[in-house]
Amino acid sequence: MGKPRPKQVRVGIVAIPEAGLATLSGIFDVLNSLALLAGREGVPDHPPFDAELLGETADAVRLASRVTLPLHGAAEERPSDIVVVPSLFVRDEGWTKGRYPRITRWILERHRAGATICSACSGLFLIAETGLFDGVEATVHWPYARIFTAQYPAVRVCPERALVVAGAQSELVSSGASTSWHDLVLYLIGRDVGPVAAQAVSKFFALQRHVDGLAPFIVFDPPRGHGDAVVTAAQNWLDANAAVATPVREMIRASGLSERGFSRRFQAATGYAPLDYVQRLRVEHAKRRLERTGDAIEEIAWRVGYEDPSAFRRLFQRIAGVSPGQYRRQFAQPMLG
pLDDT tens digits, 32-72: 998 888 878 888 888 999 999 999 999 999 999 899 999 99
pLDDT at 40: 80
> In terms of pLDDT, which residue wins out, 242 or 43?
242
Burial of 256 (0-12, 13-18, 19+ CB in 10 A): exposed
**Average pLDDT for 17-29:** 95
- The domains found in the chain, sorted by start residue, are 9-217 (3.40.50.880), 229-331 (1.10.10.60)
pLDDT at 68: 95
CA distance 197 to 239: 48
With a cut of 70, say whether residue 5 has pLDDT above it.
no
CA distance 79 to 326: 44
94 and 140 Cβ atoms separated by less than 8 Å: no
**256 — pLDDT class (breaks 50, 70, 90):** very high
With a cut of 60, say whether residue 336 has pLDDT above it.
no
Question: Considering just the CA atoms, what is the radius of gyration of the chain in Å?
Answer: 23
190 and 134 Cβ atoms separated by less than 8 Å: no
pLDDT at 7: 79
CA distance 325 to 334: 15
How many residues are given for the chain?
337
**% residues pLDDT > 90 (the chain):** 89
pLDDT at 285: 97
pLDDT tens for each residue of 120-165: 999 999 999 999 999 999 999 999 999 999 999 999 999 999 999 9
Residues 6 or more apart in contact with residue 283 via CB below 8 angstroms: 220, 304, 315, 316, 319, 320
pLDDT at 2: 45
Q: Give the chain's mean pLDDT.
A: 94
pLDDT tens for each residue of 172-196: 999 998 899 999 999 999 999 999 9
With a cut of 50, say whether residue 119 has pLDDT above it.
yes
pLDDT at 318: 96
pLDDT at 337: 53
- The H or E element containing residue 11 is strand 9-14
DSSP state of 91: B
Q: Are strands 68-69 and 61-62 parallel, antiparallel or unpaired?
A: antiparallel
CA distance 164 to 269: 29
- Identity of the residue numbered 127: I
> In terms of pLDDT, which residue wins out, 4 or 281?
281
Closest CA to 316 of 285, 290, 283: 283
